[in-house]
Amino acid sequence: MASGLVALLDDVAAIAKIAATSLDDVTAAASKAGSKAVGVVLDDTAVTPGYAVGFTPDRELPIVWKIALGSLRNKFLFLLPGALLLSAFAPWAVTPILMLGACYLCFEGAEKIVEALRHEDHADEVEELALSSAELEKQKVAGAIRTDLILSGEIMAIALADVADRPLAIQAAALAVVGLAITVGVYGVVALIVKMDDIGLHLAKHRARMLRGLGRGLVKGMPVTLTLLTQVGTAAMLWVGGGIIVHGLEQFGVTGVAHLVEAFSHWAGAVPGVGAVTGWLATALASGIVGLALGAVIVGGLRVVKPHH
């Protein structure tokens, strides 16, 4: 009986060891995969607050919550199963799908720049004024979830490409961890951003002078923050989209653009002391130029086919 109990305990210990190893593998894989998607996460965080502002304060967090639920639905009902099917049956399709999503990001970024230069965004504001609050909220949430589907698809595809050599169970667990962690992180930050002015108003009434000053600063800084986020989101669309296109072309044997970007980054990275920063900035700038050029071509082509009114 004792030997049987010892054997059972040995088996349990072995199973626990395997489980711990698997957990370590999942954590390592998720960390590695998630780090590669930082650019798209930044894009997602910068773009989303624009969908939740402009409503009464009591509707801001419910709107963020609706978008977050839509994001989880995108990831776990559609993107995660789709990613695993691709990994199992068509791993060759990951890069082309990434590049298609990148084309959309480049198009979105370039279109935002064109609209800002031609002041076409005012026409959209007039159309929004004609909608009721409920209709506008529904439209904004639907638009945010559509945008999230593209960005989440890019995140999951980037993560999948990084764990494609792992067993399918590890892939599934890593993608689930990445999807959940990024959703919680992004929409937690978004909720904080959209409530920044309310937090500021609350602090502005505090007895402590320093907190009152901080509160007034938050209120005054909200419009600047939203404008900056819009600009960062647009830049991120172009640099992330362009970077994916450059790497995708390289995988298909078209290496000229990648070599130019690498050479520019290497030249900028030679600055003493800050080479790592300047090298990264050069890569982002070069990728952004590629993204802007591609996005401009797509915008121009679509406007020829369907003129913008």
From 33-42, 225-234, 253-262, the region with the lowest mean pLDDT = 33-42
pLDDT of residue 71: 93
One-letter amino acid for residue 104 of the chain: Y
CA distance 12 to 14: 5
> Domain of 167?
2-305
CA distance 249 to 242: 11
Q: What is the pLDDT of residues 181-229, one digit of tens each?
A: 888 988 998 889 888 888 888 888 888 888 889 889 988 888 888 888 8
More confident residue, 24 or 208: 208
CA distance 65 to 290: 35
Burial class (CB in 10 A: 0-12, 13-18, 19+), 304: exposed
Residue 114 phi/psi, 5-degree rounding, is -60, -45
- pLDDT bin (cut points 50, 70, 90) of residue 122 is low
CA distance 144 to 62: 14
Q: How many CB atoms lie within 10 A of CB 210?
A: 9
Do the beta carbons of residue 159 and residue 33 sit within 8 Å?
Answer: yes
Q: What is the pLDDT of residues 272-282, one digit of tens each?
A: 888 889 998 99
pLDDT of residue 24: 54
pLDDT at 81 over 90: yes
Do the beta carbons of residue 120 and residue 169 sit within 8 Å?
Answer: no
For the chain, how far is it from start to end, CA to CA, in angstroms? 84
Count structural domains, the chain: 1
Helix (H, G, I), strand (E, B) or coil at 187: helix
Buried b (16+ CB within 10 A) or exposed e, 211-221: eeebbeebbee
Predicted TM-score (pTM) of the model is 0.77
CA distance 50 to 116: 15
